[in-house]
Amino acid sequence: MTVSGRRPLSVTLVACLYIVMGTIGFLYHLTEFDPRRPFDRDFVWVELVRLLAVVAGVFMLRRQNWARWLALAWMGYHVVLSAFHTLPELLMHAVFFVLFAWLLWTAPARRYFEQL
């Protein structure tokens, strides 16, 4: 735990961003659901990936070390996926990957996750 016993701001910000973006993405892609063809367009996979972002965010707030690894894997997946899209999209995801990795592995964040 940090010296003051509080969650580092960096963890709070990243976790909340994952929750918000996962929720927005989930709701956005929910509009693509067609009950006549529920498995078309990888609907289930896309929604599962969005839910994983929410899970990572919620459990980072609950001090679960595995959740920060899930968050980094989630962003890493998006870096790989965006390699098949435009260069700006790839660069944006790569920058977020590096930024989130740095924020989640600073000394205060490490102490927060490693001490129960």
Cβ atoms of residues 2 and 8 within 8 Å: yes
Cβ atoms of residues 29 and 50 within 8 Å: yes
Distance CA 57, CA 113 (A): 13
Q: The whole model's pTM is what? A: 0.86
Burial class (CB in 10 A: 0-12, 13-18, 19+), 88: exposed
74 token code pair: 């989630």
End-to-end alpha carbon distance in the chain: 7
pLDDT by residue, tens only, the chain of 116 residues: 444 568 999 999 999 999 999 999 999 887 877 777 766 767 788 889 999 999 999 999 999 999 999 999 999 999 999 999 999 999 999 999 999 999 999 999 999 998 76
User: Phi and psi (nearest 5°) for 61?
Assistant: -65, -25
Q: What pLDDT, on a 0 to 100 scale, did the predictor assign at position 115? A: 77
Cβ atoms of residues 14 and 105 within 8 Å: no
What's the DSSP call for residue 83?
Answer: T
Domain ranges of the chain: 9-114
